[in-house]
Amino acid sequence: MEAKENTHFIHEIVEEDIRTGKHDGAVHTRFPPEPNGHLHIGHAKAICLDFGTAIKYKGKCNLRFDDTNPSKEETAYVDGIRADVHWLGFDWEDREYYASDYFDQLYDYAVQLIKKGKAFVCDLSGEEVRAYRGTLTEPGKPSPWRDRSIEENLDLFTRMKAGEFPEGSHTLRAKIDMNSPNVHNRDPVIYRIMYAHHHRTGDKWCIYPMYDFTHCISDSIERITHSFCTLEFEVHRYLYDWFLDELEVFHPQQIEFARLNLTYTVMSKRKLLKLVEDKIVDGWNDPRMPTVSGLRRRGYTPESIRDFCDRIGLAKRESMVDLALLEHCLRTDLNARALRYMAVLNPVKVIIDNYPADKEEYFTAVNNPENPEDGTREVPFSRELYIERDDFMEDAPKKFYRLSVGREVRLRYAYFITCESIVKNEAGEITEIHCTYDPASSGGNSPDGRKVKATLHWVSAVHAFEAEVRHFDNLLTVANPAESDLDFLELINANSKEILSNCKLEPALRELTAETRVQFERIGYYCVDNVDSKPGKPVFNRTVGLRDEWSRIQKRN
Ligand code: ATP
Ligand code: MG
């Protein structure tokens, strides 16, 4: 992958470090997911920063699973995260690490802190620890167990590890400062008892290190030079520094940046998990989900997501990014690459009365006007066709330029046709539109310079195949759920998925393989679903429409 040129405050820091020879000019980053859910577009921003920085400065980036919480972690998440990072286009080579691989070392470090008089075993319950901690405005109260002797602490910690105590009865806590204005520094818990099976260490441990203790030490063990994280970790920085200083180990530099927030999007694993568990969506990879696997299934390209992450840049201040920008990046990429086809989603039959019933001919269609190298294909034509129901109007006003009785339009690549009459069923629905064609307009070219105001897409009825096409809308009814007093579950759009089951598609679409992205002419971009499609029986997901909301927004401003 090419290194990107644009720069931001983080790269300025990195460049300064390289210039001054800090870490001998080395740049070593990591992406540290907790395997307790699948990755979303916010993680993609972090991934692009972590891996992108390593690429730009010819350094390295590790993939490290911060797997400290056995109760919420699953191997399936690990596999999904690996697949997602690869799909986004990044590679960690042989540097796949797990915080759980450091459990022995972390235990030794904890013992070291006890021996220094910097950690103690506390018998307060979780609830009591919270009550003693104080609040933002009130100082904390020291634990009655804070001044245990080093010997007693060592003995108790060893027995915690040996499984002598029940869950919740003891914790190991750092001895920092109960009066600190920062509550994170008020003697935080660093080890807890948990009789839980861990996805990698099995039943070896019944005590587990807390995230804060583990994360900064894992970075140190891996000799991470620049440790990027989101702003909420700024208040943890003192604590991380404290651990690393007390243990006298390698000290990575933490740099915080604002997380990505997107309009109409929930962006927290906890909430996304809720959507999955409550079956509001069909799994983590539902095309409406902002997960990497959902975006992939929807038809997003890794290139468009990387382009988006590039354009939003990095800042220290929280902001809300317009979903239209993400869609703009996608559309720009697909416009250049997606092959065009004809598909009729809401069909009505057209019969060309003066076209021979047994005749069939083929017209040459351009696959991608943006790229001549994509060539052409032959599209079959015959007497009976389908067009979009919307492209016909019975009592058409003057401004309606498409088909109506007595009006002439072009069928793309084929002929000029004129509507002569319509047939309706008992319910009053139009069932047939009868037309005549001008044989002199073959290929859709005007025979005598006469103009038509509309060009319609169509498919030949006998040659078309039927397919399911799925349309999606935003999962949320409001742009910024954080501004609402309602719980996000009450802001769910109940009509975010629509299944069109009677679509008529041109035959060339039949053999497309999963994840192929195409443009249905005049309609939008679509992608072959990677779960429900079968060979010769593709299901299509609407990726994004043709109209570029972002350009409109830009023009307005
Ligand atoms: P969530 O907030 O969705 O539950 P998380 O922060 O718990 O996510 P982690 O697995 O800990 O998820 O995240 C891995 C990395 O991704 C962290 O460095 C985190 O800061 C970063 N990250 C998570 N969400 C975002 C976001 N919305 N924008 C940018 N980076 C993010
Ligand atoms: Mg986290």
Q: What is the pLDDT of residues 392-441, one digit of tens each?
A: 999 999 999 999 999 999 999 999 999 999 999 999 999 999 999 999 99
Q: Looking at 435, 457, 479, which one is the last position of a domain? A: 457
pLDDT for 1 beyond 80 = no
pLDDT for 225 beyond 90 = yes
Ligand 1 closest atom vs CA 270? 4
CA dist 144 and 138 (Å) reads 18
225 and 123 together in one domain: yes
What mean pLDDT do residues 238-264 have?
A: 97
| Mutational pocket test of ligand 1: of 219, 230, 319, the residue with most ligand atoms within 8 Å of the beta carbon | 230
Instruction: Give the domain extent around 225.
Output: 9-257
CA of 220 to the centre of ligand 1 (A): 20
303 and 208 together in one domain: no
234 and 149 together in one domain: yes
Residue 552 confidence (pLDDT)? 81
| Within a domain: 462 | no
Nearest to 15 by CA among 5, 93, 258: 5
Q: What is the pLDDT of residues 131-161, one digit of tens each?
A: 999 999 999 999 999 999 999 999 999 999 9
Residue 4 confidence (pLDDT)? 61
- Measured in Å, how far apart are the chain's first and last C-alpha atoms? 34
Q: What is the pLDDT of residues 266-323, one digit of tens each?
A: 999 999 999 999 999 999 999 999 999 999 999 999 999 999 999 999 999 988 999 9
Give catalytic residues, as residue numbers: 34, 259, 269
pTM: 0.95
174 and 302 together in one domain: no
29 and 57 together in one domain: yes
CA of 34 to the centre of ligand 2 (A): 6
Q: What is the pLDDT of residues 89-119, one digit of tens each?
A: 999 999 999 999 999 999 999 999 999 999 9
CA dist 269 and 282 (Å) reads 16
pLDDT for 186 beyond 80 = yes
Ligand 1 closest atom vs CA 45? 29
Residue 7 confidence (pLDDT)? 79
Q: Looking at 257, 279, 301, which one is the last position of a domain? A: 257
32 and 112 together in one domain: yes
Residue 73 confidence (pLDDT)? 77
Residue 555's pLDDT band, with cuts at 50, 70 and 90, is: confident
CA dist 472 and 543 (Å) reads 8
- Strand order, beta sheet including 540-545: 339-341, 517-520, 524-528, 540-545, 465-472, 497-505, 343-344
Residue 3 confidence (pLDDT)? 60
Residue 479's pLDDT band, with cuts at 50, 70 and 90, is: very high
What mean pLDDT do residues 381-396 have?
A: 97
pLDDT for 370 beyond 80 = yes
CATH of the domain at 311: 2.40.240.10
User: In this structure, which ligand is nearest to the CA of 273?
Assistant: 1
| Within a domain: 3 | no
C-alpha to C-alpha distances, 377 to 320, 344, 505, nearest whole angstrom: 43, 18, 15
**DSSP code per residue over 488-522:** GGGGB-TT-EEEEEEEEE-GGGTTPPTT-EEEETT
What mean pLDDT do residues 351-375 have?
A: 97
Residue 206 confidence (pLDDT)? 98
The two counts, helices (H) then strands (E), for the chain are 13, 25
54 and 177 together in one domain: yes
Domain count, the chain: 3
